[in-house]
Amino acid sequence: MKLFDNKVIVITGGTGSLGKVLTRRLLKKELGSPKKIVIFSRDEAKQHTMRVEYQNKKKVTDEVIYDNFARLIEFRIGDIRDYSSVCSVLKDADIVINAAALKQVPSCEYFPFEAVRTNILGAENIVRGIAENNLSVETVVGVSTDKACKPVNAMGISKAMQERIFITANVVIPKTKFICVRYGNVLASRGSVIPLFHEQIKHGGPVTITTKEMTRFLLPLESAVDTIFAALAGAKAGEIYIPKIPAARIEDVAKALIEKRPVSISYTGIRPGEKVHEVLISEEEAWRAYDRGAYYAIKPMLPELFVPEPDQQALVKEYSSGDFLMTFEETVALLRKQQLLVDQSQEEGEFLR
């Protein structure tokens, strides 16, 4: 039996960039045939658009999407902040992937309690709903970010708390496995830097960059989904899965997209809450982080959950975007492979590659 065979999978925030690619991958049935995929979000317009896109698409995935489509995918209006709607959507779930989030650093900095309500209380609603209603959820995956590691901004702090809430839930609800995935900037997801650069270039510039030195991990959306699938298949209770991914100078990303166009670059200075380099595994976490092939797994610090691996060597230093930089040529090649250069065709509305 495959991982998703006959499972009810709930994706909170399922109309976001990650949720849409995750849904498409689940519909391909590469790891089994789900019984139902439930898209849970509070945005009825995005739900309607997503529903119409799947019903009317005439591309290669048609034959794997439309076998009894109405029964396979269910759209549910609700808010991760609302306990009753969370309980309602979880009652038949086997697997929950929590992609609902406030993720824009400036927005969370100006409205920090809104970040608390979505990123922290939303996670607590999932845990509380499972515990108080004795639900038979098998696995919960919390989608986190590199900004949760050594956080310096409200978004990162709220995501770090989400990680802790889910990890601790393994102690109080041992029949459900709670795990997390943590990764860097997802290439071209909604609100990320590449769509911004595209827009600036198409309007003649300038392309705005905070500082020449800034680096970021870059992760294709498909690899973000791969990380979730790998964690579901291999993570132990309380572990955080982290993909081994390339990093680049943001200046190189901008220059790669500009190519030979007469577009200038403007340096604006670091925004409130920003780091020059992002860290996926801190020095403090490194001693309990282990190699799992294409991923690292950070073991939980709680003694009830920590299981040593005496045959494995833990990391000896932090995992920082400043230490694993691609060359300019490698950055160009990655963007071209993901069809993210300005002249390459994009799906209407979002960059979903």
Burial bucket for residue 125 (CB in 10 Å: 0-12, 13-18, 19+): buried
Tell me how far apart the alpha carbons of residues 164 and 300 are, in angstroms, rounded to a whole number.
9
Q: Is 147 a catalytic residue?
A: yes
Tell me how far apart the alpha carbons of residues 283 and 261 are, in angstroms, rounded to a whole number.
41
Tell me how far apart the alpha carbons of residues 317 and 319 are, in angstroms, rounded to a whole number.
7
Query: Among candidates 185, 177, 289, which has minimal Cα distance to 232?
Result: 177
Tell me how far apart the alpha carbons of residues 172 and 181 are, in angstroms, rounded to a whole number.
21
The count of other CB atoms within 10 Å of the CB of residue 247 is: 23
Active-site residue among 7, 20, 147, 177?
Answer: 147
Chain length of the chain: 353
Structure tokens at 337: 């492979």
Structure tokens at 120: 């922290």
Report which residue type is found at 109.
Answer: E
Tell me how far apart the alpha carbons of residues 157 and 307 are, in angstroms, rounded to a whole number.
26
Active site residue ranges: 147
